[in-house]
Amino acid sequence: MSEHPVRPFAPQDDAFRWSDVELRTYKEEGTAPFRAVTRQTLFSRPDMRGELRYFEIAAGGHSTLERHLHAHAVVILRGRGAVLVGDRVFPVGAHDLVSVPSLTWHQFRAAPDAPLGFLCMVDAERDRPQLPGPEDLADLRANAAVAAFLAGS
Ligand code: MN
């Protein structure tokens, strides 16, 4: 497949969009809990081992709470919110860099009144995310800040 070397940025309806990039749902519905997340795969090439995706979480939405062997390197592009990495919660905003190490619980949440849009660099070939079981959730909620984050407050 030949692609045009430049695919312009084309904001639509107050959302970040690139021309000729398919707007997809974040994951298959019903496979994992999440809310109000879209995904655009900006770069996925057979001659590179990484992929670059852009996710946008609408105000009040969140990504799946998960962990996996592969790591994430994230650049926040717009909006604000908070991120859980391991057993710590951090406020994030535009231009923050977020490192998610291997096998570390993580979740992104947009603020109630602002979206959270970010680039995510990831291995093209990667393991499937693991979801927390009851014991994992109990361990996470033992930390008050994490419990408040997971409750969306
Ligand atoms: Mn992940």
Say what the pTM is. 0.92
* H helical segments located in the chain: 134-141, 144-150
Indicate the domain borders of the chain.
24-150
CB atoms within 10 A of CB 49: 9
Side chain identity, residue 14: D
- Compute the distance from residue 106 Cα to the ligand 1 centre, in Å: 7
Helix (H, G, I), strand (E, B) or coil at 26: coil
Distance spanning both ends of the chain, measured CA to CA: 46
- Compute the distance from residue 37 Cα to the ligand 1 centre, in Å: 13
CA 128 to chain centre: 15
pLDDT computed for residue 34 by the predictor: 79
Structure tokens belonging to residue 143: 């930390």
- pLDDT by 10s per residue, the chain, length 153: 457 888 889 888 778 999 888 888 877 666 677 788 899 999 999 999 999 999 999 999 999 999 999 999 999 999 999 999 999 999 999 999 999 999 999 999 999 999 999 999 999 999 999 999 999 999 999 999 999 999 997
Residue 153 to residue 139: CA distance in whole angstroms = 18
Catalytically annotated residues:
120
CATH code of the region 24-150: 2.60.120.10
- Compute the distance from residue 129 Cα to the ligand 1 centre, in Å: 7
